[in-house]
Amino acid sequence: MRILLAPDKFKQTLTQEQAAAAMAEGVVRSLSGAVVRSLPMADGGEGTLLVLVPDRREHLAIPVTGPMGEITSATCARTPDGTGYVEMALCSGLGLVSPHRRDAIRASSRGTGEAMVRLLQDCREVRVGVGGSASTDGGTGAARAAGLRFLDRSGREVPEGGGHLADVASIDVPERPTISVTALCDVMVPLAGSEGAAMRFASQKGASRGDVMRLEAGLFNLAEVIERELGVDLSELPGAGAGGGMGAGLHAFFGASLVSGAASIADQIGLDEAITDADLVITGEGRLDRGTFGNKVVAEVARRAVRFGVPVMAVCGQIDRTVDLTQLGLREAISVEDQPARAEDGDGPAARLAATVAATLANL
């Protein structure tokens, strides 16, 4: 039996590679004769760089300004064909900020812009993984790194962070870079509104209810100023809300194309070919919920497997059973959380995931 493993990260628990390794252990435990292929997936968020550029010889460390103003070293990549890769989560990500220091009002995306500017010097194209951000600043921090200035009605520069976007009245734009930029968006949501960057995701970044409304007002204002000053309409642009509005900023300030991260990454790593060569596909993520149905890895892998007529199952850390999982076309959806813990299986998230996969396959 040929089994393809194509998991995303299990957020704050296992990387894509660790999840795939644990799944492989579970497969071998139940099906010793199985031929296992691991093809870790990503959606533009955490882990995107390693999935797209696994050869660490092509990685480089770039000093950047972290989301709360501290200097950090971000791993980026430059491949021999002249393509640069930036992962927002590594430059301006929530994982760079300890929980007690999270500040959705002040957090900036400047570090992502600094990494981009560095790669723009000698790359023909830059691909930016947009997701996992600590900021909700509409990409204005990244734009500042490229020389743009955001001014209030008195002509003074507005402080960084999404909490000040409502004060932006004009934008001072130097000559824009002509290099090709592609944003790999982890969600294809709009910039503002009930499904947008602030209302859907800012609370995860430490925003109170009042903060969420302040950020929402700021994003609406930023969109109005961008349309008036730059002639770019962001109102219905899918992906504009990804990365705390970074999708919008990359499109408006860098001329970026916004694409589904999961779909684009699947194409780049040859997921379709791997699926057609498998008898069973196993995918997974930390939590399967309504967010999965957008452009997340489990949904993307499932859609492709169903299209090719290959059975697909998801093994996830947690599963929200109130959502209709039949829409995904999964043969099975199994939660590690619901698997009884046994001493002989070992402890830790990798051991629990391996045991869950093994138990599931034994019952097929």
pLDDT tens, residue by residue, 18-43: 999 999 999 999 998 999 999 999 99
Q: Please compute, for residue 296, the number of CA atoms within 13 A of its CA located in the half-sphere on the CB side.
A: 24
Asked if 217 and 294 sit in the same domain, the reply is no
Q: What is the pLDDT of residues 78-123, one digit of tens each?
A: 999 999 999 999 999 999 999 889 999 999 999 999 999 999 989 9
Q: What is the pTM of this model?
A: 0.95
Token digits for 44? 């533009």
Q: Are strands 280-283 and 287-288 parallel, antiparallel or unpaired?
A: unpaired
Taking Cα atoms as reference points, which of 106, 301, 312, 309 lies closest to residue 214? 106
Asked if 275 and 238 sit in the same domain, the reply is no
Q: Which of 262, 291, 311 is the last residue of a domain?
A: 262
Instruction: Tell me the sheet residues that pair with 281.
Output: 4, 312
Looking up tokens 């795939």, which residue turns up? 20
Task: Give exposure, 167-176, as e/b (b: 16+ Cβ within 10 Å).
Answer: bbbebeeeee
Asked if 96 and 232 sit in the same domain, the reply is yes
Q: What is the CATH number of the domain that holds 114?
A: 3.90.1510.10
Asked if 231 and 312 sit in the same domain, the reply is no
Asked if 154 and 238 sit in the same domain, the reply is yes
Asked if 58 and 204 sit in the same domain, the reply is yes
The answer on pLDDT for 357 being more than 90 is: yes
Asked if 227 and 315 sit in the same domain, the reply is no
- Under DSSP, the state recorded for 159 is P
Asked if 122 and 219 sit in the same domain, the reply is yes
What's the first-to-final CA gap in the chain, in angstroms? 13
Q: Which of 240, 262, 284 is the last residue of a domain?
A: 262
Q: What is the CATH number of the domain that holds 332?
A: 3.40.50.10350
Q: Would you place residue 177 in the very low, low, confident or very high pLDDT band (cuts 50, 70, 90)?
A: low
Asked if 148 and 26 sit in the same domain, the reply is no
Rounded to 10 deg, the angle between the 261-269 and 297-307 helix axes is 50
- Of 11-20, 36-45, 323-332, give the lowest mean pLDDT range: 323-332
- % of the chain exceeding 70 in pLDDT: 99
Taking Cα atoms as reference points, which of 75, 14, 8 lies closest to residue 42? 8
- Of 85-89, 226-230, 288-292, give the lowest mean pLDDT range: 288-292
Give how many domains the chain has, as a whole number: 2
Mean of pLDDT values over 179-196: 95
Q: Which of 196, 231, 262 is the last residue of a domain?
A: 262
Token digits for 140? 């204005």
How distant, in Å, are the alpha carbons of 85, 120, 121, 124, 180 from that of 82? Answer: 10, 10, 11, 5, 11
Asked if 83 and 231 sit in the same domain, the reply is yes
Mean of pLDDT values over 64-83: 97
Cβ distance 193 to 199 under 8 Å? yes
CB atoms within 10 A of CB 187: 27
Cβ distance 124 to 98 under 8 Å? no
How distant, in Å, are the alpha carbons of 33, 84, 265 from that of 39? Answer: 19, 22, 11
Asked if 206 and 279 sit in the same domain, the reply is no
Asked if 65 and 155 sit in the same domain, the reply is yes
Question: What pLDDT shows up at residue 347?
Answer: 82
Q: Which domain holds residue 310?
A: 2-39+270-362
